[in-house]
Amino acid sequence: MEHSLYLGLIGLVALVVLIGIRVPIAYAMILVGAVGTVALNGPNVFLNQLKTIGFSQFSKYDLSVIPMFVLMGYIATRAGLSQDLFRAANAWFGRMRGGVAMSAIAACAGFGAVCGSSLATATTMGQVALPELKRYKYSGALATGSLAAGGLLGILIPPSVVLVIYAIIVEANIVSMFAAALIPGLIAVVLFIITIAIFVRIYPDAGPAAAKLAPGEWMAATLGVLPVLGIFVIVIGGIYAGFYNPTPAAAVGVALVAVYGSLRRGVRLADYRWAILETAKTSGMIYLILLGAELLKIFMSRGGVPQAAAEMMVNSGLPAMAILVILLLALIVLGCLMDSMSMILLVMPFFWPVVAELDFGMDPGDVKIWFGVLSLIVVELGLITPPVGMNVFVISALAKDVPMRETFKGVFPFFGVEIVRLALLIAFPALSLWLPHLVSG
């Protein structure tokens, strides 16, 4: 057993080194999992598991939801939903000081509800909102910081691809996870808007008010967002109401977004071809990472690394909440080094066994849901934290005239309120558990 554990730890170090030298994480996990299993059990055992592991992983029905939601997001990008969302949000918030930035946050939340990807949300809304923010002479820090932070809402507001993957890893109910993420996501929207309001009170010139719309323009902008809201209600509301499971719901969403795009925006056949090809690329990347994560998990489990970590933490004498905070801090550090999806796939096989052994005074199924939401919030933070900060890089690429340090300065207040939100959800688990109980009840 000691020999196996040492091999597992060596494999873990090797994985960190491979990631550090920029080997793609899927290949790094496959390599460490394969070599480690051969070293532990010999090549025959590895080859026997390899002939079945691909089919057993990719034939899971729950996994089919991933390409469907990814496709819905890509079609939504070409269908112009982002413009309608931003125009409607700007009609309501634009006349306030800092209102255009607030509108960008609200529109990011709306687009995240039909996209499920943080990077796609940041990229799409950045293209839509940045010209308006520049037109009203918003400071570079506030303009780019609010868009980078708004992109975070793409992976928390349901549907979320990362949330689906977490649910599959820990064997949680996807519908319950979607329900658990909704209220924390809405809390984030409110806190981000309040942050902008405080920012422009301190720095009045950072976010001037936009021109007030005429009543006809205001009404047209407001009505223009109704189809987008209708798609969200039909897809996510249908899941919560029990009309269909997430996979058929995603198919319904794809159909509705495609019809909307074709009728209202004139989305062409070339746009659908692009969306399907991009979906194939993204899904292939996700599935390859999933295969690597499974190979790594098998090796680590046979080496006893997750079991040893769980035993060490449980026997440390620390309170359950202290251990939880340590794990979340570790996720924040890891989030500075890798993307959100890779991090969830890499660390959950190690972290979840530890959390499952802790006593939080609640049902184990509730702990699974609660920890998933907390982990997702922490994963979000990595998207605006240096040195990776993928959302910051995306927005900086769009706003070439704003130095990246200004963007990082702009996201700092949002990072602070994310910590506040995390503390609220740790202190009050009901914020993420009330809706799942209501849906399942």
Q: What integer pLDDT is reported at residue 236 of this predicted model?
A: 84
Mean pLDDT, all residues of the chain:
85
Distance CA 135, CA 292 (A): 46
- Which one is predicted more confidently, 383 or 178? 178
Cα distance between residue 379 and residue 243, in whole Å: 31
**What pLDDT, in 10s, does the model give residues 22-54?**
788 888 888 988 888 888 888 888 888 877 887
- For the residues 254-258, what does the mean pLDDT come to? 91
Residue 335 has pLDDT above 80, yes or no: no
User: What is the pLDDT averaged over residues 192-216?
Assistant: 86
Dist CA 74 CA 315 (whole Å)? 47
What's the pLDDT tens digit per position in 122-156? 888 888 888 888 888 899 899 999 999 998 888 88
Domain count, the chain: 1
Distance CA 267, CA 251 (A): 18
Higher-confidence residue of 94 and 137: namely 137
Most confident option among 126-130, 364-368, 386-390:
364-368
Average pLDDT over residues 348-360: 86
Rounded to the nearest 10°, the torsion over CA 190, 69, 246, 426 is -30
For the chain, the straight-line distance linking the first and the last C-alpha, in angstroms and rounded, comes to 45
Residue 190 in this model has a pLDDT that exceeds 60: yes
Percentage of the residues of the chain whose pLDDT score is greater than 90? 19
DSSP code for 59: T
pLDDT at 294 over 60: yes
Mapped onto helix, strand or coil, the DSSP state of residue 285 is: helix
Query: Mean pLDDT, to the nearest integer, of 273-289?
Result: 88
Angle at 331 between CA 329 and CA 336, to 5 degrees: 105
Q: What is the per-residue pLDDT for 333?
A: 78
DSSP 3-state assignment of 192?
helix
Give CA angle at 393 (392, 394), nearest 5°. 90
pTM given for the model: 0.87
Instruction: Domain of residue 320: give its range.
Output: 2-440
Has residue 1 got a pLDDT over 60?
A: no
The secondary element (H helix, E strand) that includes residue 320 is helix 320-335
Question: What confidence score (pLDDT) does residue 94 get?
Answer: 77
Rounded Cα–Cα distance for residues 85 and 107 (Å): 5
Asked if residue 341 lies in contact with residue 120, where contact means CB atoms within 8 angstroms, the answer is no
Assess contact for 155 and 376: CB atoms under 8 A: yes
Tens of pLDDT, residues 219-233: 888 887 888 888 888
Tokens of 170: 């820990």
pLDDT the model gives residue 105: 92
What's the confidence (pLDDT) of residue 122? 85
